[in-house]
Amino acid sequence: MEIDLFSNYPSNSSQVTLSVSYLPLDLNGADIKAISQALDNLPRQKIAAQPWPEFTYQPEVNFSIAHNLTWIFLKYYVTEEFVRIDNFKLNDPVYQDSCVEFFISFNAEAAYYNLEFNALGICRAGYGPNRENRQLLKPEQLRSIQTATTLTRLDDSSEQNFYWQLTLAIPIKIFDQHQISSLQGMQARANFYKCGDNVPQPHFLSWSKIVAPQPNFHLPAFFGNLVFE
């Protein structure tokens, strides 16, 4: 989702807090499928806040998250009527497709990282304090993210025609504007999103609630809290 940052919006007075579980998985000894299965056993969080009621369509979206000190493990579970995948290169505008997103900031800073993925796992990512001053991460950085995706066509009688899952293993080295050696005990601010700007039924959902007059994910004032175990 690519719309301007805030400055005159109220801050979130009811910020949610999520504890990020520690999983003792070594990426040298466990592949992405093992990580995906481990995430299936963790509690799932809903991405269900619909701040802009004029966009009435609401897919079913959940995620689970964990870490192993130096990697963030994240899995999205999405059921929706349409799946659009028209962007295939790193840093393409994947928010136009069936897309899930993860924004995170460290040290209570205004600047934040945005990581956006379409249903194929193609990533667009950047860093900065607002939309106008974002610096896209380099393709070689994005290639360090491990991904696994599945897509299933459901019964045509259902209002939701497709079910897809996306598993991500994100190395902390990708957060190259910070010197992070371990996530253990760290606190961060973040939000998780589902969008599809150019799908037949555009939608804009968030995990932590947003108050804004139009669809806008670039609002760190409304990020929730993450606590890494």
SS3 category, 49: strand
Q: Is residue 160 part of a domain?
A: yes
Question: pLDDT (tens digit, 9 = 90+) per residue, 71-123?
Answer: 999 999 999 999 999 999 999 999 999 999 999 999 999 999 999 999 999 99
Q: CA 96, CA 108: separation in Å to the nearest integer?
A: 29
Question: pLDDT (tens digit, 9 = 90+) per residue, 9-66?
Answer: 444 546 899 999 999 998 776 789 999 999 999 999 999 999 999 999 999 999 999 9
Give the chain's domain count. Answer: 1
Q: Is residue 56 part of a domain?
A: yes
Q: Is residue 199 part of a domain?
A: yes
SS3 category, 10: coil
> What are the start-end ranges of the H helices in the chain?
32-40, 139-142
Question: pLDDT (tens digit, 9 = 90+) per residue, 174-205?
Answer: 999 999 999 999 999 999 999 999 999 999 99
Question: pLDDT (tens digit, 9 = 90+) per residue, 149-164?
Answer: 999 998 766 666 899 9
Q: Is residue 11 part of a domain?
A: no
Q: Is residue 5 part of a domain?
A: no
Q: CA 60, CA 84: separation in Å to the nearest integer?
A: 16
Structure tokens at 215: 């669809």
| pTM of the model as a whole | 0.92
**Neighbouring-strand partners of residue 128:** 112
For residue 170, report the phi and psi dihedrals to the nearest 5 degrees.
-110, 115
Q: CA 224, CA 213: separation in Å to the nearest integer?
A: 20
Contact between residue 157 and residue 148 where contact means Cβ atoms under 8 Å apart: no
Residue 119 sits in a domain of what CATH number? 2.60.40.1190
Structure tokens at 177: 């504007």
Q: Is residue 10 part of a domain?
A: no
Domain housing 208: 17-228
